[in-house]
Amino acid sequence: MSTFSFTISSSDVTAIKGTSGAAFEATADRGMSRASKHRILTAKFGDGYEQRVLDGINTKDDSFSLSFNNRSAEDINLIAAFFDSKAAKSFDFTVTDTFTGGNLSNRTMKVVCDTYNVVYLRENFHSLTCNLRRVYEP
């Protein structure tokens, strides 16, 4: 089964909650979307002729839209606090979508959370949507 998730380490959970806690696996709901675009430099000439070349080493821009619907307020608040703690910092995001020898396999990539929104459904249940952007770094 495909998974779209990131792990909040036990040290991050402890820092966020102020008490010791176990690692938390944040698995997104079904229906995640992925937008991909290649950065291409194009030179256009007057006669309709054009030349194209990829712009840089890592030319593929990926962004992911995820949702965590109808989760406990504690879980949503933990995810939101994690995104706040990772502002301008990357974290690992795992996607199961790569075919290797005809089988699905996991691919982990570095992402940053550009934006997120929390919807307060009821006192104890909230939803969160977020946009993650792939970054290339060691």
Q: Which pTM does this prediction carry?
A: 0.82
When the pLDDT of each residue in the chain is averaged and rounded to a whole number, the result is 89
Q: Given its phi and psi angles, is residue 115 left (phi above 0), alpha (psi -120 to 50 degrees) or beta?
A: beta
pLDDT per position as a tens digit, 90-133: 999 988 766 666 667 778 889 999 999 999 999 999 999 999 99
Give the count of beta carbons closer than 10 Å to the beta carbon of residue 32. Answer: 15
Q: Is 127:118 a contact under the CB 8 Å cutoff?
A: yes
Which two tokens mark 89? 């910092």
Reference 117, options 83, 74, 75; nearest CA is: 83
